[in-house]
Amino acid sequence: MEYEEIIQIKRSVPFLSDLTVEELQDLMRIARIRIWRDGQAFFREGEAADGMYIVLKGDAKVEKRLQQGDQLVLSKLKAGDVAGEMGLIEHEPRSATVRATGACTTMFLESSAFDDLRRRHHPGAMKILKRLCGILAARARRLEQILSDFFERPERSLDFMEKRYLRFVGHPGMDEGGPA
């Protein structure tokens, strides 16, 4: 990758802005650039995690499959955002699907290659881990907020859930069996 492109990534991706140009060059040697079409999934919920994606150009959305088959959009991603970051540090199944909305370019960091940098105590890997902690903290706080909102306004949530329940059961009797 050209020097100018490295500089451009450093400027446009906050996640990598703490890295020096040399550290970023090392990182780019193990990264893979991929171009996606509208609707293509970077990864799907339930798949084994093998790394993380950084959106370089375009947009994407994070979806969660619900039991009844429909999708809940958890968040939208834009250039500079990261997706599947937990896949960099653990190999649990993906907790959501991330899908391109329009043409999208990503950088993929494979966990095994990143582990190699960690083992060598590469300063860039440490900066990434520190940044990752900040992202995980923000995400945990946002999810807690969703939970709080849900229970802090029980009337509104009741209304929402009753409509949702009726969509799948088809009658208002709350004591006549569970969801389909």
Partner 1 sequence: MMKDVRQILASLEAFRDLDERERDLLSTVLSARSVLQGEDLYKQGERAPSFFVVAEGQFVKLKEFRAHLVETMGKVGPGDLVGLLSMFDRSERLHTVKAVEDALALECTRDSFDRLFESQSRFSYKILDKFTETLSRSVRDANTLITDLFSDPKRTLLMLQQARVTARHHLTEF
Question: Can you give the binding site for partner 1, defined by CB under 8 A?
Answer: 64, 66-68, 72, 86, 89-90, 92, 95-96, 118, 121, 123, 126, 129-130, 132-134, 136-141, 143-144, 146-148, 150-155, 157-158, 161-162, 164-165, 168, 174, 178-179
The bridge status of strand 82-83 relative to strand 41-43 is: unpaired
Q: How far is the CB of 8 from partner 1 (least distance, A)?
A: 28
- Taking each helix axis from N to C end, the angle separating 154-169 and 123-152, rounded to the nearest 10 degrees, works out to 90
Among residues 105, 104, 106, 126, the alpha carbon closest in space to that of 114 is found at 126
Length of the chain: 180
φ, ψ dihedrals at 63, nearest 5°: -115, 150
Give the distance from CA 75 to its chain's centroid. Answer: 8
Cβ proximity to partner 1: between 6 and 128 the closer is: 128
Cβ proximity to partner 1: between 56 and 98 the closer is: 98
To 5 degrees, how large is the angle CA 145–CA 62–CA 81? 85
Q: How far is the CB of 37 from partner 1 (least distance, A)?
A: 28
Cβ proximity to partner 1: between 2 and 155 the closer is: 155
Nearby residues of 15 by Cβ (< 8 Å), 6 or more positions away: 54, 80, 81, 82, 128, 131, 135
Q: How far is the CB of 144 from partner 1 (least distance, A)?
A: 5
Q: How far is the CB of 53 from partner 1 (least distance, A)?
A: 17
Cβ proximity to partner 1: between 5 and 149 the closer is: 149
Cβ proximity to partner 1: between 102 and 134 the closer is: 134
Q: How far is the CB of 4 from partner 1 (least distance, A)?
A: 30
